[in-house]
């Protein structure tokens, strides 16, 4: 890995090191010198890159989980493979000029193999690590004096008890890797609550954090290019129910300019010091009095940035493509005084097409974004955006649209 | 044709009437009852339907000229065929729930065959005829008392001379079918100018029109659904150079509310009376004093509506999809006081990727839309949109971006 080999772009001959069982069909490029952006993972984040990629004449190549993955339905070049299989991923990456991610679950050995091949990965594994491993993230942010909840690695029930004695009960216990949407996070009221997790961790440390008494959750999205250019969107409020984001208000209401500036500044520090490339979400707790602590980092387009697709001059998916290609970044200003995003969760209705007709008739200004996914109760299957001057009215419109698509209201 | 047969959707068995040489691979649908929209023609208009189709979980199937057509680069299901071959088109259309058009050149016999099969065509051939045949259009609009230039069918040099004596020289001569972007249109100064055209027309009438002394060109886009719902965008000014639209200003500056209302009303009359379904562009001459005459109709998304992709709550491509599916139409209001669209024409530079980097750095608010086409001098290869409060500044930004991409300015 210390002597990276040149990355063979546009290779048509089989690589001696790679079995020729999966001939790499190349994605078809637009003429004019435009690159191929590879995305590992075919979920909705990859899917939503398709529109800005087409506008900019960029070609996407999606390494998909299945041929009915959200992105595979709308991207012509979406070979199916296993992102845990380094050889499959390496073979595919030979046809890409840059590789980025739909999710943060690509194993370290696969990332290392790609890096050794000289593939341009963004974010780089050295940065991505801090989004994949919450213990590493907490250590690094603390070193940078970015406000965090009190935290400690805990490997035993005794260590957990000691942390609880110091910082109070209940506390929050997290698996350092693999969690999302409330999974891998537990509110621990007594040390016994964590017995099963410690048994499963088998000696590996878990992350204990104080249960922060926050007033609300907020988030900020930032883009950073390999050249070091950064662009930050307005700070937003994220409303969570049962650990899942249901609503985003952009900008965050009643946030002082001073607090917004300090949050933006923290995001820039994190992006720069962790050498983030691409877009990153910084999720925070607003603890009142203009103070905040960082909750999570995500180094990819993020739910808290979906509002930007209709609400900002440059949406997060366009910006992510620009950032990973080291193109100059776009204007992140809001286009309307308020934009409200509502997440559409699966409900009882499987037939969404007849359902959304009614929404279109009721609200001609509603921007519907569906992911092409089958309905399962609670699954994120899309989102809606509305924008305008009246925050209360916008929230009611977004809420109604989501409830109607979920089937929890019927008119 | 009087007894349409049921349209076999999702047919997997070969049709007895259709040779099984081209098995119809079905476009992959998103789950949830979402339809497949077929588009005949794989140009930039089909390409720009891909983004809103994905948002609405609609599946596109593009009947493309070639596998590197603009739309074929971004749409997974884009079989290649000849739109003049009724059997090929019929076979493809079996996999579509509705069929619409990227261009207006599909022959009448192909349209008739599809209609006889029960395919839902939008616009319907009975309406499309008035966009395909300028003589039929002039007759119909005149019957509707919609203001038109003086016009007449002329089949001989003598008839042309008589028209010229009555309405003045020079006059405009048009081929009734097949023209676009200034092709099929000639300014005739003396009857002799038209000799070659009459010879080629071989007795078929051409369309003579008075050369209107206009102050500027304007256009209005309207959407109409099969149910009869209409939605009209603001009237725009279109700037033409050598018969090619180079710039669109939305809304048209200095247009009185009264004139805008009468133009909008004329567009609604035309759409309703011609039973247009989908979006239609009405191009007009502003002859001063609040008066106007209709120049051309286009029954599809149109260059004069590209501003709406970034400048309106609902862009013309989303609206076209909603209209042809008889979904409720979206809000057509402008999102900014002014939006300026500039057409990017091919110049000397073939490598656009290094070029547009500079534009992104210079103007972070520029919205670039490229069509994935190879550069040829004068070819429309993309457009840019900018929006804001300052019309003069916006025009300068759009102009610079287009000139820079064309290579006529270098900084």
Residue of B nearest to A51 (CA): B51
Residue of A nearest to B384 (CA): A55
Name the residue among B330, B331, B364 with its Cβ closest to that of A331. B364
Cα separation, B232 vs A94, whole angstroms: 48
Q: With an 8 Å Cβ cutoff, are A370 and B336 in contact?
A: no
- B26 pLDDT band, cuts 50/70/90, is confident
Residues of B in contact with A59 (CB under 8 A): 73
Mean pLDDT of chain B: 92
Percent of all residues in chain A with a pLDDT value above 90, rounded to a whole number: 86
Cα separation, B328 vs A175, whole angstroms: 46
What is the DSSP pairing of strand B291-298 with strand B230-232?
A: unpaired
Closest CA to A154 of A104, A105, A191, A108: A191
> Which chain A residues in 223-242 lie under 8 Å from chain B, judged by CB atoms?
231
Q: Is B134 annotated as a binding residue?
A: yes
Q: With an 8 Å Cβ cutoff, are A51 and B51 in contact?
A: yes
Residues of A in contact with B346 (CB under 8 A): none
pLDDT on residue B10: 36
Name the residue among A54, A68, A360 with its Cβ closest to that of B47. A54
> Tokens 């009438």 sit at which residue?
B205
pLDDT on residue B181: 60
pLDDT on residue B328: 98
Residues of A in contact with B331 (CB under 8 A): 364-365
Please, which residues bridge with residue B247 across strands?
A: B239, B342
Mean pLDDT of chain A: 92
Name the residue among A56, A369, A370 with its Cβ closest to that of B370. A56
Instruction: Name every residue whose Cβ is closer than 8 Å to that of residue A345 and which is 6 or more positions away in sequence.
Output: A244, A246, A377, A378, A379, A380, A381, A402, A406
What is the DSSP pairing of strand A36-40 with strand A59-63?
A: parallel
A10: tokens are 């546009």
Checking phi first, is residue B34 left (phi over 0); if not, alpha (psi -120 to 50) or beta?
beta
Residue-wise pLDDT for A66-106, tens only, equals: 999 999 999 999 999 999 999 999 999 999 999 999 999 99
> Which chain B residues in 77-136 lie under 8 Å from chain A, judged by CB atoms?
78
Cα separation, B361 vs B340, whole angstroms: 19
Residues of B in contact with A57 (CB under 8 A): 352-353, 370-372, 382
Name the residue among B314, B336, B361 with its Cβ closest to that of A328. B361
Please, which residues bridge with residue B380 across strands?
A: B345
Residue-wise pLDDT for B124-133, tens only, equals: 999 999 999 9
Name the residue among B73, B313, B356 with its Cβ closest to that of A365. B313
Please, which residues bridge with residue A370 across strands?
A: A382
What is the DSSP pairing of strand A36-40 with strand A98-101?
A: parallel
Q: With an 8 Å Cβ cutoff, are B375 and A335 in contact?
A: no
A367: tokens are 């921007």
Cα separation, B46 vs B50, whole angstroms: 7
Q: What is the ipTM of this complex?
A: 0.92
Percent of all residues in chain B with a pLDDT value above 70, rounded to a whole number: 93
Alpha-carbon distance B331 to nearest alpha carbon in chain A (angstroms): 5
Residue of A nearest to B372 (CA): A30
CA torsion angle A141 A143 A144 A147 (round to 10): 50
Cα separation, B327 vs B197, whole angstroms: 44
Residue-wise pLDDT for B34-51, tens only, equals: 999 999 999 999 999 999
Q: Is B295 annotated as a binding residue?
A: yes
Identify the CATH homologous superfamily for domain B150-210. Answer: ATP-grasp fold, A domain (3.30.1490.20)
Q: With an 8 Å Cβ cutoff, are B365 and A330 in contact?
A: yes
Q: Is A115 annotated as a binding residue?
A: no
Collapsed DSSP state (helix, strand, coil) of residue B6: coil
pLDDT at B323 over 70: yes
Residue boundaries of the structural domains of chain B? 1-121, 150-210, 216-406
Residue-wise pLDDT for A114-152, tens only, equals: 999 999 999 999 999 999 999 999 999 999 999 999 999
- B25 pLDDT band, cuts 50/70/90, is low
> Tokens 């907490």 sit at which residue?
A138
Closest CA to B152 of B190, B208, B106: B208
Residues of B in contact with A54 (CB under 8 A): 47-48, 50-51, 73-74, 372
Cα separation, B322 vs A139, whole angstroms: 51
Closest CA to B208 of B180, B181, B168: B168
N residues, chain A: 411
Q: With an 8 Å Cβ cutoff, are A335 and B331 in contact?
A: no
Residues of B in contact with A368 (CB under 8 A): 55-56
- A25 pLDDT band, cuts 50/70/90, is low
Residue-wise pLDDT for B338-347, tens only, equals: 999 999 999 9
pLDDT on residue B1: 34
Name the residue among B28, B364, B372 with its Cβ closest to that of A57. B372
**Domain B216-406 -> CATH class:** alpha beta
Q: Is A296 annotated as a binding residue?
A: yes
pLDDT on residue B19: 39
Q: Cβ(B106)–Cβ(B177) under 8 Å?
A: no
A151: tokens are 């935290």
Residue-wise pLDDT for A351-403, tens only, equals: 899 999 999 999 999 999 999 999 999 999 999 999 999 999 999 999 999 99
The reply to whether A128-138+212-335 and A336-411 are identical in fold is: yes
Cα separation, A85 vs B48, whole angstroms: 35
Helix or strand (DSSP H, E) at A40 = strand A36-40
pLDDT on residue B180: 60
User: Which residue did the predictor score with more confidence, B183 or A48?
Assistant: A48
Domain topology for B1-121: Rossmann fold (3.40.50)
pLDDT on residue B24: 47
For A4, A231, B185, B372, the CA distances from B174, given in Å and listed in that order, are 64, 52, 5, 31
- A12 pLDDT band, cuts 50/70/90, is very low
Residue of A nearest to B361 (CA): A328
Q: With an 8 Å Cβ cutoff, are B54 and A54 in contact?
A: no
Architecture label for domain A36-121: 3-Layer(aba) Sandwich (3.40)
> Which chain B residues in 361-390 lie under 8 Å from chain A, judged by CB atoms?
361, 364-365, 367-375, 382
Closest CA to A123 of A95, A100, A96: A100
Residue-wise pLDDT for B72-112, tens only, equals: 999 999 999 999 999 999 999 999 999 999 999 999 999 99
Break chain A down into helix, strand, coil percent, rounded to 5: 30, 25, 45
Cα separation, B5 vs B3, whole angstroms: 6
Name the residue among A59, A329, A375 with its Cβ closest to that of B364. A329
Residues B198-205, mean pLDDT to the nearest whole number: 91
Residues A15-36, mean pLDDT to the nearest whole number: 67
Q: Does domain A336-411 have CATH number 3.30.470.20?
A: yes
pLDDT at A3 over 90: no
DSSP-assigned states of every residue in B343-402: EEEP-S---HHHHHHHHHHH-TT-EEEE--PPP-TT-EEEEEEEEES-HHHHHHHHHHHH
pLDDT at B410 over 90: no
- B383 pLDDT band, cuts 50/70/90, is very high
> Which chain A residues in 22-61 lie under 8 Å from chain B, judged by CB atoms?
28, 30-35, 47, 50-51, 53-57, 59
Alpha-carbon distance B160 to nearest alpha carbon in chain A (angstroms): 45
Closest CA to B111 of B100, B125, B98: B125
Residues A15-28, mean pLDDT to the nearest whole number: 51
pLDDT on residue A182: 63
Q: With an 8 Å Cβ cutoff, are A74 and B54 in contact?
A: yes
Cα separation, A262 vs B17, whole angstroms: 70
Q: Does domain A128-138+212-335 have CATH number 3.30.56.10?
A: no
Tell me how far the alpha carbon of residue A58 is from its chain's centroid: 21
Residues of A in contact with B388 (CB under 8 A): none
Residue-wise pLDDT for A308-329, tens only, equals: 999 999 999 999 999 999 999 9
Residues of B in contact with A46 (CB under 8 A): none
Alpha-carbon distance A197 to nearest alpha carbon in chain B (angstroms): 37
pLDDT at A17 over 70: no
Q: With an 8 Å Cβ cutoff, are B375 and A35 in contact?
A: no
């Amino acid at each position: 890995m210390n002597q990276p080999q040149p990355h063979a772009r546009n290779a048509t001959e089989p690589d001696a090191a790679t079995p020729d069982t999966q001939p790499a069909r190349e994605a078809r490029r637009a003429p004019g010198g435009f690159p191929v952006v590879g995305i590992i993972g075919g979920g909705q984040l990859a899917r939503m890159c398709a529109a800005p990629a087409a506008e900019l004449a960029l070609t996407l190549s999606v390494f998909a989980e299945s041929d009915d993955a959200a992105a595979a339905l709308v991207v012509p070049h979406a070979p199916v493979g296993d992102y845990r299989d380094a050889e499959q991923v390496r073979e595919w990456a030979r046809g890409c000029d840059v590789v980025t991610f739909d999710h943060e679950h690509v194993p370290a050995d696969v990332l290392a193999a790609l890096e050794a091949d000289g593939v341009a990965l963004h974010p780089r594994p050295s940065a991505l690590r801090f989004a994949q491993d919450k213990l590493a993230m907490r250590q690094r942010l603390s070193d940078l004096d970015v406000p965090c909840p009190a935290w400690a690695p805990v490997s035993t029930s005794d260590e957990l008890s000691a942390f609880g004695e110091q910082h109070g009960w209940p506390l929050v216990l997290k698996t350092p890797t693999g969690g999302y949407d409330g999974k891998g996070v537990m509110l621990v009221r007594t040390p016994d609550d964590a017995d099963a997790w410690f048994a499963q961790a088998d000696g590996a440390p878990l992350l204990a954090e104080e249960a922060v008494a926050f007033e609300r959750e907020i988030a900020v999205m930032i883009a950073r290019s390999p050249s070091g250019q950064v662009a930050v969107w307005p700070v937003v409020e994220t409303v969570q129910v049962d650990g899942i984001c249901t609503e985003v208000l952009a900008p965050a209401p009643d946030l002082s300019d001073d607090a917004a500036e300090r949050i933006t500044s923290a995001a820039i520090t994190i992006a720069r010091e962790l050498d983030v490339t691409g877009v990153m979400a910084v999720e925070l707790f607003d603890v009142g009095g203009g103070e905040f602590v960082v909750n999570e980092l995500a180094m990819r387009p993020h739910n808290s940035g979906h509002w930007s697709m209709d609400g900002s001059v440059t949406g997060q998916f366009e910006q992510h493509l620009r950032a990973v290609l080291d193109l100059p970044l776009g204007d992140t200003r809001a286009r309307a005084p308020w934009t409200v995003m509502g997440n559409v969760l699966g409900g009882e209705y499987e037939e969404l097409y007849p359902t959304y007709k009614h929404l279109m008739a009721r609200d001609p200004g509603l921007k519907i974004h569906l992911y092409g996914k089958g309905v399962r109760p609670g699954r994120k299957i899309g989102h809606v955006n509305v924008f305008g001057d009246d925050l209360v009215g916008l929230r009611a419109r977004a809420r109604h649209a989501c409830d109607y698509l979920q089937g929890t209201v019927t008119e």
